[in-house]
Structure 1
Amino acid sequence: MNSTFGPLIEATSTRFRLFAPEAATVSLEIDGAGPVAMDKGADGFFTATVDGLEAGTRYRFRLGEGQAGLAVPDPASRGQAEDADGWSLVPAPPPSRAPGPSRPWHEAIIAEVHVGTATPEGTFRALIDRLDHYRDAGFTVIELLPVADFAGRRNWGYDGVLLYAPDTAYGTPEDLRALIDAAHERGLGMMLDVVYNHFGPSGNYLPLYAKSFFREDIDTPWGPAIDLENPIVRAFFSENAAYWLAEFGFDGLRFDAVHALATTGAETFLREIAAACRAVKPDAWLVLENHDNIAGWMTRDEPLYDAQWNDDWHHAFHVLASGERTGYYAPYARDPVAAAGRALSEGFVFQGEPYPGEGGQPRGTVSTELAPDAFVAFAQNHDHIGNRPLGDRLAASLAPEWLAFLRFVLMLSPAIPLLFQGEEALLSQPFPFFCDFEGDLAEAVRNGRRSEFADFFDAHGESFPDPLSEATFISAKLKAEDFRTPQARAELDIFRRLADERRRLVWPLAASFYRGSELSRSGEALRVAWHFNAGTLVMVLNGGRQAATLDPMTGIAGMPAGASTGGVIHEAEGKLTLGPFAAAVWSLAPA
């Protein structure tokens, strides 16, 4: 693919490019050779062409005159020799990519995976050996947390600074391509989480020579906002998104926190980035994380994006199951049953209503016409585990009947289900926040984490995980034997059956045109009907601690459920009695 940034491999030479409008002079340094002066163009790019360089040759840029200038990596490096602030590597010409499995989006069952903790080794190559597990469990897609190069040896991935370079802690670009190829051989799609709302706090040198990347007058939690009014800046990120699809063979991308794109130009950027991705892979799966709940990005008339992560679904069901009502759960605590019903039947809970967590400002837009697969649903993910003080999973605190209820509803409602690595076996290993910074930044992160959970730290200081400690990182690692305990095997069998039931009950309906939903409620119990051209999916569920009775519904009176959990009893006159934490689902032929 054509690229504006990073090294350009030509027939016998390599053309180096650096966007550095604020720099007076820049020289190219090749490891073991003298500096090469770079020419500055009117567009702010410095360029130099060098003949005869082999793949793997180390290079970097030096700002200013002589050795007194600062040496910096290529911000569009395709791979680093060591850490993010060291030498960049001349890449090999990208190999041609075989297409991934041809699978429609409604068939996605997603495993969210962090490369560094999914195996003891924490590498792309080691993860290849775990692919059979994900396939055999019933997943169809693996979504990697961000892999862009970050400072240090460990990180969640959301502190990336070299967005074109897979982090060396996980392996080489060739190792990542091997992982994607191995997944495709097993029929698994591969997605990547990408972060374009900020750079990490260590290893980002762009402010020194490309101030126009940022708006000093607009602050964000990570510092000055990225300036998306600047077309060069938009191109840097749009080309990056297309690069992962074209040169590595990813089948889709998840765009982190686009609501945090803080400058004018964000809407233009989201349109451009979708177009850039579709240009290289027309059927790429493109998914947003957007707390603003803007349904328009997924409309049927102009579906620039396939889906959005639905935090509303998570928050409503988390309150229902756990009883937690503070922080970002508070807006869903007034009536969690109603919130859960709306999340199931319409997608967003807040569709323009005042949002208590934001001073009563309206949040969201109407989502009733969107098909269920325009939403990615989850009972937990990396954020909602890792942003807890101990990084504890639901399996560490919820009763088994609640866990069974949540997993049933997640897997057999027609939204796209996502589970965090190990959740398929209900593993209880934590996933606490961790990073590997140094000096004052390390202490600031440590103190900030303690301050965020001050009450918890005061009461449990010794058990509070230090985000800078390697032990915290190691505590999150999954081992193959974790999945071989009797309990894990039993839970995996249940998950496999749910995945099979989803294939049988949900996929044939979701493949057809969506016509809308109906929702009814009786006490703590809900009945949802999703209507498709191919038929209707009906789910009844009781998230209460007492039995509940539902009035009859045409089509399911006396008809055995396609699948169920908990106690579901057919009463006289077609009524249904659901035990606590019970749910059932029917797939009905079209009327």
Structure 2
Amino acid sequence: MNTGPSAALSRKEDAGGQLYGFGAVPLGGGDTRFRLWAPGAREVALLIRGQEPRPMTATHDGFHELVCQAPAGTLYRFGLPDGSSVPDPASRMQDGDVHDASIVCDSASYSWQCGHWRGRPWTEAVLYEAHCGLAGGFDGLRARLPELARLGITAVELMPVADFPGPRNWGYDGVLPYAPDRAYGTPDDLRRLIDAAHGLHMMVFLDVVYNHFGPDGNYLSSYAPEFFRTDLDTPWGPAIDFRRPEVRRFFAENALYWLREYRFDGLRLDAVHAISDRSWLPEMAAFVRRSIGPNRQVHLVLENDDNAASLLEQGFDAQWNDDAHHVLHHVLTGERSGYYASYADDAGGMLARALAEGFVFQGQADPHRQGRLRGEPSAGLSPEHFVFFLQNHDQVGNRALGERLISLGVRQKALRAAVALQLLVPQIPLVFMGEEQGASTPFLYFTSHTRPELARAVRDGRRREFAGFPGFADAHALQGIPDPNDPDTWRRSRPQADDEAAAEAWRRWYEQLLALRREYVVPRLRGARSMGARALGPSAVCATWKMDDGARLTILCNLGDEACECTELAGLPPDAVFFSGPEDSGEARAFLQPGRLPAHCTIAALESEGG
């Protein structure tokens, strides 16, 4: 009979039922179980600061483990055969940055104030995407929660917080997926943010990155080269090998960790099209939902360039709808370079399809992708499966100069009408930080790499990326693209309005529309189905949905500069119209009988069943 550390581990795991398979997990009484998957290392030592190295026990599946006295707050590293030492890849907190020692943490020590919280239905979600660093860290964002709640936001979505190199980063260069970055605060500061949100009846989502690691601070290849594939690359380096059960488990447990130990209400999975084995996704979703149990409402959202509609029936609530964004961006700005070219020839028809069916590309050839077939049929899905945004960190920050729509020459009336469309249709809206106040400050790509050669490579690579775009054909223009590593690039990205009166007008606009959404759309949203949509012109659309209670929601939107014919207007009972604007002054209602939809106008009507 085995009576060594592994046996003790097994007995304590069976008793506690709350332990994870990676990292340092407190077991009670000051004992901690350390576990590292290092199939490429013959032996591994636990290095606790101030103590002699402790040999760990190697198991047949490549793990090295040890149970010993190490209370919360203990600093440790793992020693490798070549004499080097590395932080824990499943570190729960770092003593500084990604290269420093890891710290034993006890998540059970935090006293939750809203322990009764069980979440909110997905249909009630109004997402607000925020970057914690630009908001002043976890505490700074926590201070803004009451303001966002008054606005009508029901869910704050954090850009990735997993530990990245330096104090400034979008978060997609993370290398320690379990550890909140210390630049934003401590793990308990993050819990206080989530606790405060729950106290305001708000959900909190986290953006997680499972498709790659950042370029600095990832030591996995030195002791677990099997973590990566040798036959497949991504835009960020070798693909993670999701064929291996240990890799699948590492990330599935990470998803569970954020949801259970921090009580996040949901996750947004970044760029899952770059995950090499798609079968892991529904497997992970099932694992998370089974582990969380039925007493909490937890939501899983995808970013997936492949438009794989089938995943939205395999444990995932929704996907970011890039198609809807791209066609609306083209309509508002006229841009047709890059991926916008795929949406330029039939913009009105594509917008109608995005509103009625979710994805525009459902298996057709995509011109921007060299004619590659893209997408799966999505017309059978309810609109709540699609997250609808006018802007987000990608669509603003991946521009060379980080311009927001308000700085791209879009007419204010047209932009306000587009916001009305976004917030009143049955898809789930996402607001990007600063939109609600009409911020004109850019959102730029920023980093804080300490290795000069890496900082230089990132700067030069970004400039090369835009060398073929209109406006950046000469070297002088390319030099004008901000250096991501310059602290001023980060400072310039803080959302600010030019004028407080204008900012307050924008806030009132969002508050008005979200109140209407809460009254007319949300109670009827679950199970809503499209009744069809059609283009009224290159910049105008009419769409109708049968809502859950049988009522019919009709949205008419004209983002063009001229009025357009709209026969549907004549059939709308005036008392069914609950919004017309931007001004909502009666101007739009005056066109109901003639059947012409004014320029820069959105109209929303709800007709009860049989009405």
TM-score, length-scaled by structure 2? 0.91
Paired amino acid for 1:18: L
Partner of 2:404: 393
Write out aligned runs for 1:47-126 (5 A). 47-51=65-69, 53-64=70-81, 69-94=83-108, 95=110, 98-100=115-117, 102-118=119-135, 122-126=136-140
Is residue 569–residue 576 contact of structure 1 (8 Å, CA) maintained in 2? Answer: no
CA distance, structure 2, for counterparts of residue 587 and residue 557 of structure 1: 9
Is residue 530–residue 536 contact of structure 1 (8 Å, CA) maintained in 2? Answer: yes
Partner of 1:336: 347
CA distance, structure 2, for counterparts of residue 430 and residue 219 of structure 1: 32
Is residue 509–residue 537 contact of structure 1 (8 Å, CA) maintained in 2? Answer: no
Instruction: Give the match's secondary structure for 1:22.
Output: coil
Partner of 1:514: 528
Q: 1:236 is matched with which residue: 228, 250, 263?
A: 250
Q: Deviations over 1:44-93 (max 9, x none)?
A: 11112222x2311110011116xxx1110000000001001110001124
CA distance, structure 2, for counterparts of residue 222 and residue 100 of structure 1: 38
CA distance, structure 2, for counterparts of residue 332 and residue 343 of structure 1: 11
Partner of 2:491: 474
Cα shift at 1:349: 0.5
Report the more deviating stretch, 442-451 or 99-108.
Answer: 99-108
Partner of 1:586: 605
Cα shift at 1:294: 1.2
Q: 1:11 is matched with which residue: 14, 18, 28?
A: 28
Q: CA 1:337–1:229 in structure 2 vs 1: closer, same or farther (change >3 Å)?
A: same
CA distance, structure 1, for counterparts of residue 480 and residue 413 of structure 2: 28
Number of residues paired by the alignment?
574
Instruction: Give the match's secondary structure for 1:111.
Output: strand
Q: 2:507 is matched with which residue: 460, 477, 492?
A: 492
Cα shift at 1:425: 1.2
Q: CA 1:57–1:530 in structure 2 vs 1: closer, same or farther (change >3 Å)?
A: same
Write out aligned runs for 1:189-338 (5 A). 189-262=203-276, 266-281=277-292, 282=294, 283-299=297-313, 303-338=314-349
Is structure 2 residue 477 aligned with structure 1 residue 464? Answer: no
Q: 2:184 is matched with which residue: 170, 173, 182?
A: 170
CA distance, structure 1, for counterparts of residue 448 and residue 591 of structure 2: 59
Partner of 1:21: 39
CA distance, structure 2, for counterparts of residue 560 and residue 63 of structure 1: 71
CA distance, structure 1, for counterparts of residue 425 and residue 580 of structure 2: 12
CA distance, structure 2, for counterparts of residue 2 and residue 275 of structure 1: 18
Q: Deviations over 1:421-455 (max 9, x none)?
A: 11111111211000111221111101001111225
Report the more deviating stretch, 78-87 or 123-132.
Answer: 123-132
Cα shift at 1:40: 1.1
Paired amino acid for 1:248: Y
* Structure 1: gaps of 5 or more residues: none
Cα shift at 1:460: 3.1
Q: Identical aligned pairs, as a percentage?
A: 44
CA distance, structure 1, for counterparts of residue 287 and residue 190 of structure 2: 22
CA distance, structure 2, for counterparts of residue 381 and residue 522 of structure 1: 27
CA distance, structure 2, for counterparts of residue 64 and residue 308 of structure 1: 44
Cα shift at 1:517: 2.1
Write out aligned runs for 1:447-462 (5 A). 447-454=460-467, 456=472, 458-461=475-478
Is residue 119–residue 265 contact of structure 2 (8 Å, CA) maintained in 1? Answer: no
Is residue 131–residue 183 contact of structure 1 (8 Å, CA) maintained in 2? Answer: yes
Q: CA 1:462–1:361 in structure 2 vs 1: closer, same or farther (change >3 Å)?
A: closer
Is residue 439–residue 495 contact of structure 2 (8 Å, CA) maintained in 1? Answer: no
Instruction: Give the match's secondary structure for 2:195.
Output: helix
Is residue 569–residue 578 contact of structure 1 (8 Å, CA) maintained in 2? Answer: no
Is structure 2 residue 568 aligned with structure 1 residue 568? Answer: no
Q: Deviations over 1:323-374 (max 9, x none)?
A: 0001011100111111111111111001111111122121111111111110
CA distance, structure 2, for counterparts of residue 367 and residue 87 of structure 1: 47
Cα shift at 1:560: 5.6
Cα shift at 1:541: 1.2
* Structure 2: gaps of 5 or more residues: 1-17
Partner of 2:10: none
CA distance, structure 1, for counterparts of residue 529 and residue 464 of structure 2: 48
Q: Deviations over 1:4-37 (max 9, x none)?
A: 0011211231111111010122111111111111
CA distance, structure 1, for counterparts of residue 116 and residue 301 of structure 2: 20
CA distance, structure 1, for counterparts of residue 548 and residue 531 of structure 2: 12
CA distance, structure 2, for counterparts of residue 75 and residue 533 of structure 1: 46
Cα shift at 1:171: 0.9
Is residue 533–residue 590 contact of structure 1 (8 Å, CA) maintained in 2? Answer: no
CA distance, structure 1, for counterparts of residue 548 and residue 149 of structure 2: 30
Partner of 2:563: 547
Is structure 2 residue 169 aligned with structure 1 residue 158? Answer: no
CA distance, structure 2, for counterparts of residue 70 and residue 269 of structure 1: 33
Paired amino acid for 2:433: Q
Partner of 1:409: 421
Paired amino acid for 1:388: R
Cα shift at 1:493: 0.7
Is residue 86–residue 219 contact of structure 2 (8 Å, CA) maintained in 1? Answer: yes
Q: 1:503 is matched with which residue: 518, 539, 544?
A: 518
Is structure 2 residue 544 aligned with structure 1 residue 529? Answer: yes
Cα shift at 1:3: 0.7
Is residue 100–residue 189 contact of structure 1 (8 Å, CA) maintained in 2? Answer: no
Is structure 2 residue 387 aligned with structure 1 residue 376? Answer: yes
Q: Deviations over 1:237-292 (max 9, x none)?
A: 00000000000000000000001112xxx232101210122123342111011111
CA distance, structure 2, for counterparts of residue 182 and residue 93 of structure 1: 17
CA distance, structure 2, for counterparts of residue 219 and residue 152 of structure 1: 26
Q: Deviations over 1:399-424 (max 9, x none)?
A: 21121011111001110000111111
Instruction: Give the match's secondary structure for 2:64.
Output: strand
Is residue 73–residue 104 contact of structure 2 (8 Å, CA) maintained in 1? Answer: yes
Cα shift at 1:145: 0.4
